[in-house]
Structure 1
Amino acid sequence: MKIAIAGGHGQIALVLERLISDAGHDAIGIVRNPAHVSDVEQTGARALVADLEQLSEEELALRLRGVDAVVFAAGAGPDSGAERKLSVDRDAALLLAEAAVRLDIDRFVMISSMGADAYDPERAKVPAQNEDDVFQVYLRAKAEADANVRMRRFRWTIVRPGRLLDTPPQGTVTVGRTVPRGSIPRADVAAVVLHALLDDSAVGKQFEVTSGDTPIPAALNALG
């Protein structure tokens, strides 16, 4: 399987690219900055330099020929403003979805955010007034991107992790449509995405995920 990951230099994406490569599949990390190519290649993946805030869907589709599945793992980052929450966390996801449709790529995995649908519409507006409002715009961007993916004829999976940690993976999680607030190592999120890609148990599922006591394969298989 050839899998393209938008946001290919992100911390989750770099782990995922190595996991994909180690599993015997082909990973393509989409990066905006050419300086990030070597980091992606060190995972065993191929780097594709493409700015999702600048390309058209046609241009992106040309670059993704031969891909079997896509993962959206991009994000504007914690220090970005409200405008980029929409242009990256929402609009870049929609661009990837449109390009996938053009190429008849039907497998789409979205890395979203816990609580995305609970944003405050009155505060999730641009321009944002303060840091808390920027976070509401971020949740809005994720919610709107997720909704767009769900309405398409993809074999989609939407993963909504809790607070992200840089600690070693545990390999065990709690998943559900909603789960209590919690945290999860980024490496475990990557492992959840890999399992979702390689196993059809999570197709058509949207779920929140935090650290827990259930091995990742069993947790996803129990989604029902």
Structure 2
Amino acid sequence: MRVVIAGGHGQIALRLQKLLAERGDRPAGIVRNPAHEADLTAVGAETVVLDLEKSDVDAVAEVLRGADAAVFAAGAGPGSGEARKDTVDRGAAVLFAEAAERAGVRRFIQIGSMGADNPDAPGLDPVFAAYLRAKRASEEDLRARDLDWTILRPGPLTNDSGTGAVKIGDKTGRAEVPREDVAAVVLALLDAPATARRTLDLIAGNDPIDEAISAL
């Protein structure tokens, strides 16, 4: 299947594209910087250079047309301020979901963040709070759309090697999870239409990924 991934140069997205290519699917990663194309090509992905902060819905829908699924894995990233948390983590996510609707791509997975339910908790760094507010707003927008969406909220991310075992559910408690395992879970969710219209927490755990997804 053809899967279009927003934020194609992100660490989870690169791992996901590699997994998709290895099993014979056709990943296409959207990147803002042409210098990142080589990294996507190296993992077997098609590249699309498009700035989601500056594009309109028609341009994004054209990229999505004919795809079997869409994954929003973009983020403003560390070092960005409150304004870009809104334009990327909310604005680009909303644009990508609207474009998927317009292009008729029903399966839509959005990578969110644990804590999005409570972005104004006392003691949060103001920029991180802005990030969580943006994530919450993008989730609220997505839930109102006529898409087969799944929102995945991983705990704090690490670059440890994946274990292939996780804990996933409506609420899991807070714990870390390797990016490698997050990518593997997204891959499994693409093949699990019964998880549509669910918001799922994800942390490291003891359940093999396929079994954890099946149990949902």
Once residues 18 and 88 of structure 2 are traced to their aligned partners in structure 1, the CA distance between those partners, rounded to angstroms, is 24
Assess if the C-alpha contact under 8 Å between 1:16 and 1:190 holds in 2.
yes
Q: Report the TM-score when normalising by structure 2.
A: 0.96
Match for residue 220 of structure 1? 213
Match for residue 81 of structure 1? 81
Q: CA shift at 1:22, angstroms? A: 1.0
Match for residue 50 of structure 1? 50
Residues 25/153 of structure 1: CA separation in 2 closer, same or farther (3 Å cut): same
Query: What are the superposed Cα offsets for residues 71-101 of structure 1, whole Å, 9 maximum, x if unpaired?
Result: 0000000110000001000100000011111
Once residues 148 and 124 of structure 2 are traced to their aligned partners in structure 1, the CA distance between those partners, rounded to angstroms, is 35
Moved more, 143-152 or 24-33: 143-152
Assess if the C-alpha contact under 8 Å between 2:65 and 2:104 holds in 1.
no
Match status 1:102 vs 2:95? no
Match for residue 143 of structure 1? 136
Query: What are the superposed Cα offsets for residues 148-196 of structure 1, whole Å, 9 maximum, x if unpaired?
Result: 1111111111100000000111100011212111000001000000000
Assess if the C-alpha contact under 8 Å between 1:29 and 1:46 holds in 2.
yes
Assess if the C-alpha contact under 8 Å between 2:66 and 2:105 holds in 1.
no
Query: What are the superposed Cα offsets for residues 34-62 of structure 1, whole Å, 9 maximum, x if unpaired?
Result: 00000001111101000000000011112
Unaligned stretches of 5+ residues in structure 2 = none
Q: CA shift at 1:201, angstroms? A: 3.4
Once residues 90 and 169 of structure 2 are traced to their aligned partners in structure 1, the CA distance between those partners, rounded to angstroms, is 23
Q: CA shift at 1:131, angstroms? A: 7.8
CA-based RMSD of the aligned residues comes to 1.4
Match status 1:40 vs 2:33? no
**Matched residues, percent identical?**
48
Once residues 192 and 202 of structure 2 are traced to their aligned partners in structure 1, the CA distance between those partners, rounded to angstroms, is 17
Once residues 221 and 201 of structure 1 are traced to their aligned partners in structure 2, the CA distance between those partners, rounded to angstroms, is 9
Once residues 158 and 17 of structure 2 are traced to their aligned partners in structure 1, the CA distance between those partners, rounded to angstroms, is 18
SS in 2 for 1:28: strand
Match for residue 160 of structure 2? 167
Match for residue 3 of structure 1? 3
Assess if the C-alpha contact under 8 Å between 2:86 and 2:134 holds in 1.
yes
Unaligned stretches of 5+ residues in structure 1 = 124-129
